[in-house]
Chain A
Amino acid sequence: MAAVVAKPRSAFPLTHRITPRRGLLEMDFAELWHYRELVYFMVWRDVKVRYKQTVIGAAWAILQPFLTMVVFSLFFGRLAKMPSNGLPYPIFYYAALLPWTYFATALQTAANTLVDHQHVITKVFFPRLLLPLASVVAGLVDFSISFVFLLCMMAYYHIWPGPAILWLPVFLLLAIFTALTAGLWLSGLNALYRDVRYIMPFLVQFWLFASPVAYPSSVVPGRWRWLYGLNPMAGVIEGFRWSLTGHGDPPGKMVLVSAVVVLAALVGGLAYFQTIEGTVADFV
Chain B
Amino acid sequence: MTDTAIQTYKLGKRYRGGEIRGRVYLRDSMREWFRAPGKNLRRRAAREEFWALRDVDLRVGHGEVLGVIGRNGAGKTTLLKILSRITRPTSGVAEILGRVGSLLEVGTGFHPELTGRENTYLSGAILGMSKKETSARFDEIVAFAEIERFIDMPVKHYSSGMYVRLAFAVAAHLEPDILLVDEVLAVGDMAFQRKCLGKMGDVSRTGRTVLFVSHNMGAISQLCRRCLLLQEGTVADDGPPDRVVGEYLKACAEGQGLDSKNWDRSGSGRARITSIEVLDSEDRRCAAISMSRELRLRIGGEAENAQLEFSLSVQFASATAVPVLYLYDQFRNFRPSDNKQFLIELRIPDLLLMPGLYYVHVWIGRAGMEDYDYVKNAVSFEVVQGDEIPITLPMTQKLGLVYRPHEAKQLL
Contact = CB atoms under 8 A, between A and B. Distances in A.
A125 interface: yes
Contacts, number: 133
A282 B50 CA distance: 14
Contacts of B19: 282-283
A18 B84 CA distance: 9
A37 interface: yes
Interface of B: 15, 19, 22-27, 29, 63, 81-100, 102, 104-105, 108-109, 111, 113-114, 118, 121-122, 125-128, 130-131, 133, 137, 140, 175-177, 199, 202, 205-208
Contacts of B125: 37-38, 40-41
A125 B118 contact: no
A193 B25 contact: yes
Contact of B96 (A3, A16, A122, A192): A16
B114 A15 contact: no
A18 B85 contact: yes
Given A38-B126, A278-B87, A283 B175 contact: no
A283 B22 contact: yes
B140 A2 contact: yes
A122 B86 contact: yes
B93 A123 contact: no
Contacts of B81: 281
Determine the interface band of chain A, counting residues with CB < 8 A from chain B: 35 or more
Contacts of A40: 125
22 contacts: A9-B175, A14-B97, A15-B96, A16-B85, A16-B96, A17-B93, A17-B95, A18-B93, A19-B88, A19-B93, A38-B126, A45-B122, A48-B118, A49-B114, A122-B86, A124-B84, A124-B108, A124-B126, A126-B128, A194-B25, A278-B87, A282-B15
Contacts of A45: 111, 114, 118, 122
B177 A41 contact: no
Nearest to A125: B85
A18 B99 contact: no
Contacts of A5: 206-207
Contacts of A278: 87-88
Interface in A40-99: 40-41, 45, 48-49, 52-53
Contact of B105 (A20, A123, A193): A123
Top 10 A-B residue pairs of the complex, sorted by shortest distance between their CB atoms = A6-B207, A278-B88, A125-B85, A193-B26, A18-B94, A41-B125, A195-B26, A123-B108, A281-B87, A16-B96
A201 interface: no
Given A41-B122, A120-B109, A20 B27 contact: no
Nearest to A15: B97
Interface in A266-284: 278-279, 281-283
A9 B63 contact: no
A35 B109 CA distance: 15
A3 to B, nearest CB: 5
Nearest to B81: A281
Contact of B86 (A8, A14, A15, A121): A121
A1 B199 contact: yes
B208 A6 contact: yes
Nearest to A53: B113
Given A38-B126, A124-B86, A4 B206 contact: yes
Contact of A124 (B98, B127, B175, B205): B127
